[in-house]
Amino acid sequence: MRHLQDYYFFKTIAETGSIRKAAKSLTITSTALNRRILALEKELGTEVFERLPKGVELSAAGEVFLHHVREQLTDIEKVKSQIADLRGERRGHISIACSQALLPFFLPNQINQYSNLHPHVTFNVQRRDRKAAEQELINMNADIAVVFEPVLLADFHILSVSKQPTYAIVSKDHELAGKDIIKLSECLEYPLALPTKEYGLRRILDKKADRAFYKLKPAIESDSFEFLRYKASLGKYITFQIEVGLPEDLSFMNMTAIKVDENDLPPGEVYVGQLKGRTLPVAAAKFAQQLVTTLESG
């Protein structure tokens, strides 16, 4: 399968935009790698890269060839996975693009559960929210996307949609800490630590504020949910999180979660999906089904 190695070399150069950088990551000399690409171009009868002073760019033919290469590399992984299943021994590699909210607690628990049954399966997890997660599916850099409030869905084959209520996160010493349920308007009386506008949770909060003519003025904005939670744990600030993004016990973080009234702030949606028209390798398909079962069971 020498040609598959050349395909992988080509894909790495395309993604790094540099033969030198690709050679370094592939632990091969730049000269040897360039020779392989020149041989590939000779076989194809056209240049797949435009050589530039500071790297390379895909030619029009290279763009077409990259799509073919991604499909071929994906298909061989699927075949390897199916052969392993015939032996009763699931192997494979699963790439996941996942919204930030699900990364700290939900996804690690799901991977741990799957790995206990199938220890030979490896994982790659990329933090990608909304549009970026969908793009990773299109590029075939991800098998599965788990996305909160996705944007496009044009190339997204939906496997599951689950409703996710929002929770206000405060320190255990906060004035609101004893409440079981809260309205968004009550939270506005305190300084807010909010995710930046590209995130689905912020979109939901902004949409509610616009409808109700609230002034949603965050004291702190960040693209790191971990930072926002830590800031809220220190005292007066309030941040927000969807239900699936919460740990089973917040007390060890000196925090508590208060459900925001769903009649006041409608739940958002978590989508599990894959690229339309693609058949997933067995390991990825089984893991996707596990995610769907867990999310739909509440």
What SS3 state is found at 59?
coil
In this structure, are 158 and 178 located in the same domain? no
C-alpha–C-alpha distance, residues 204 and 182, integer Å: 16
251-263 tens-digit pLDDT = 888 899 999 999 9
107 and 236 belong to one structural domain: no
Same domain flag for 108 and 256:
no
Q: What is the dihedral of CA 261, 262, 268, 270, to 10 degrees?
A: 100
Tokens of 217: 């003025």
Instruction: Check residue 130 and give its pLDDT.
Output: 85
Q: Distance between CA atoms of 294 and 25, rounded to whole angstroms?
A: 37
Q: Is residue 71 situated within a structural domain? A: no
Contact between residue 68 and residue 59 where contact means Cβ atoms under 8 Å apart: no
Average pLDDT, the chain: 90
Question: Are both 187 and 259 inside the same structural domain?
Answer: yes
Q: Which of the two residues, 78 and 171, has the higher pLDDT score? A: 171
Whole-number pLDDT of residue 86: 65
Tens digits of per-residue pLDDT, 149-193? 988 788 899 999 999 999 999 999 999 998 999 999 999 999 999
The residue segments making up the domain with residue 12 are 2-65
User: Nearest 5°: phi and psi at 49?
Assistant: -130, 145
Q: Are 103 and 220 members of one domain? A: no
Q: How many domains are contained in the chain?
A: 3
Is 100 in the same domain as 123?
yes
- How sure is the predictor about 146, in pLDDT bands with cuts at 50, 70 and 90? very high
Q: In one letter, which amino acid is 180?
A: D
SS3 assignment for 84-110: HHHCCCCCEEEEEEECHHHCCCHHHHH
What confidence score (pLDDT) does residue 65 get?
92
Residues in the chain, how many? Answer: 298
Residue 46 pLDDT greater than 60, yes or no = yes
Average pLDDT over residues 105-109: 95
Tokens in use for 271? 């989508």
Residue 70 has pLDDT above 90, yes or no: no
- pLDDT reading at 286 higher than 80: yes
Report pLDDT digits (tens) over 211-244: 988 888 999 999 999 999 999 998 899 999 999 9
pLDDT of residue 79: 81
Residue 294: band (very low, low, confident or very high) from pLDDT cuts 50, 70, 90: very high
Per-residue model confidence (pLDDT) at position 257? 95
* CATH at residue 55: 1.10.10.10
Q: What is the pLDDT of residue 263?
A: 94
* Residue range 7-15: mean pLDDT, rounded: 90
Query: What's the alpha-carbon Rg for the chain, to the nearest Å?
Result: 23
Same domain, yes or no, for 94 and 237?
no
pLDDT digits (tens, 9 = 90+) for 235-246: 899 999 999 999
Does residue 278 share a domain with residue 247? no
pLDDT in tens, 111-130: 999 999 999 899 999 999 88
Residue at 231 is within a domain? yes
What is the value of pTM for the model shown? 0.73
15-32 confidence digits (pLDDT tens): 999 999 999 988 899 999
User: Same structural domain for residues 97 and 54?
Assistant: no
